[in-house]
Amino acid sequence: MLVNAKNMLDAAEAGHYAVGAFNTNDLEWCKSILQAAQETNSPVIVQCSMSAATYQTGYKTVSDLVHSVYKAMDITVPVALHLDHGTYEACLACIDAGFTSVMYDGSHEDSFETNLSKTKELVKICHNKGVSIEAEVGSIGGTEDGVTGTGECADPEECATIAETGVDFLAAGIGNIHGLYPVNWEGLRFDVLEAIKAKTGDLPLVLHGGTGIPDDQIKKAINLGIAKINVNTELQVAFCDATVAYIEAKKHEAEKGFDPRKLLKDGAQAIVDKTAEKIELFGSDNKGWA
């Protein structure tokens, strides 16, 4: 059975490590992320954006795929299936489709009050169904699903207000952005993270835009209360580099090298390796009971 993400993130917050939330795109991603989690004995969150779900023909397909692969691979570590950056309507659709966790991203609503009231409604709906829910305050920079955020820092008072809705974990902008970081990026705002933590107590905090943040900043963020770290772009780059290398080495011209099971094999293994590397950096390896 897939689980929701509440217990694994509460354990991470208390134990000063973080659980990786890795974005899935298709069967290769799903298999590789689960393989890495099982091999490192780590809890894991497989997450899917709205557009990656559309690519895979819908939320039900994603849910059926992840549930089936989890069973077929005899995975024993805790796994949550999470919607990444969902609208209100997408959250409802994912709950119906069998996701065990959702993120309602109300940071693009017309006001904080709208974000707050919709978060409140969804917390009730999710908790009635045993689904965990992540909220967001302060938009994360970069572009994701066509929405560009400026990387603003979250207001700690607003974080405290959202925390009171009973959300299970909270994404708060601290200078992080999605995708690759520009060379002039000034780094994470640890002063803002500390202020948010002081206002939100033991609520697990989420760091989006995990790609490209230097390891020492990742470790410091975990020490200051980050319990979930999202990684997407880095897995895509790892997959792409390995696939390009396969073709540059002309392996596709060798005996049946064009067979997709061969063509995608090195890329899939690169996802396994990169996911395992992140799990070890985040310190969730050997916490497969959490």
x/- mask, ligand 13P, residues 160-189, rule CB under 6 A, reads: ------------------xx----------
Question: Which residue from 210, 155, 157, 159 is spatially nearest to 188, judged by alpha carbons?
Answer: 210
**84 is annotated as an active-site residue:** yes
Number of other CB atoms surrounding residue 120 within 10 Å: 15
Least separation in angstroms between residue 119's CB and ligand 13P is 17
Interaction between residue 139 and ligand 13P (CB under 6 A): no
Interaction between residue 210 and ligand 13P (CB under 6 A): yes
Residue 208 or 287 with smaller CB distance to ligand 13P: 208
Binding positions for ligand 13P, 1-30, rule CB under 6 A: 23
x/- mask, ligand 13P, residues 222-261, rule CB under 6 A, reads: --------xxxxx---------------------------
Catalytic option among 84, 105, 155, 168? 84
Least separation in angstroms between residue 231's CB and ligand 13P is 5
275 burial level (CB within 10 Å; 0-12, 13-18, 19+): buried
Cα–Cα distance measured from residue 247 to residue 267, given in angstroms and rounded to the nearest whole number: 11
Cα–Cα distance measured from residue 231 to residue 25, given in angstroms and rounded to the nearest whole number: 13
Interaction between residue 82 and ligand 13P (CB under 6 A): no
Number of other CB atoms surrounding residue 58 within 10 Å: 13
Cα–Cα distance measured from residue 62 to residue 65, given in angstroms and rounded to the nearest whole number: 5
Which neighbouring-strand residues pair with 141? 177
In angstroms, the first-to-last Cα distance of the chain is 14
* Residue 224 near residue 194 (C-beta atoms within 8 A): yes
Interaction between residue 208 and ligand 13P (CB under 6 A): yes
Least separation in angstroms between residue 143's CB and ligand 13P is 10
Least separation in angstroms between residue 243's CB and ligand 13P is 18
Least separation in angstroms between residue 261's CB and ligand 13P is 27
Residue 142 or 225 with smaller CB distance to ligand 13P: 142
Interaction between residue 209 and ligand 13P (CB under 6 A): yes
x/- mask, ligand 13P, residues 23-62, rule CB under 6 A, reads: x---------------------------------------
Interface segment toward ligand 13P; rule CB under 6 A; list 106-114, 187-195, 209-217, 274-282: 209-217
Task: By CB under 6 A, name the binding residues for ligand 13P.
Answer: 23, 84-85, 178-179, 208-211, 230-234
The catalytic residues are 84
